[in-house]
Structure 1
């Protein structure tokens, strides 16, 4: 991406790079919090949050996990 103003290009790169780093940090912290959830928290989780909880646990032990889109089918295929 080239602009007439090199500082504008640098600013855009810094903005989007910083946004990406921030999102990664927030995601990592969220996964850490989910992994520390106990049975009392699990009982209170929504279905989607429980899926994210299992994803965090499985990723922590080395599995590749990909969540499917939430479809509102109540777990039916």
Structure 2
């Protein structure tokens, strides 16, 4: 799933750099990317990755997966 970083442990060991961590936290909050549906990317080998997407209510036949120009697109349509 998407990861959120906690910089609290770094505040103690980096006196004077607290402004940088505040900027990082604010930038992380202001992300415009869409983190829905939840996903997980797992490195299985040196050049191999597995992507798991939580799409409750959809069967494998309901999903259309396309890859073009370094962009992976997953669309779902419920069949009636």
TM-score category, normalised to shorter length? under 0.3
Between Structure 1 and Structure 2, the one with more strand by share is 2
TM-score under structure 1 length normalisation: 0.27
Between Structure 1 and Structure 2, the one with more helix by share is 1
TM-score under structure 2 length normalisation: 0.27
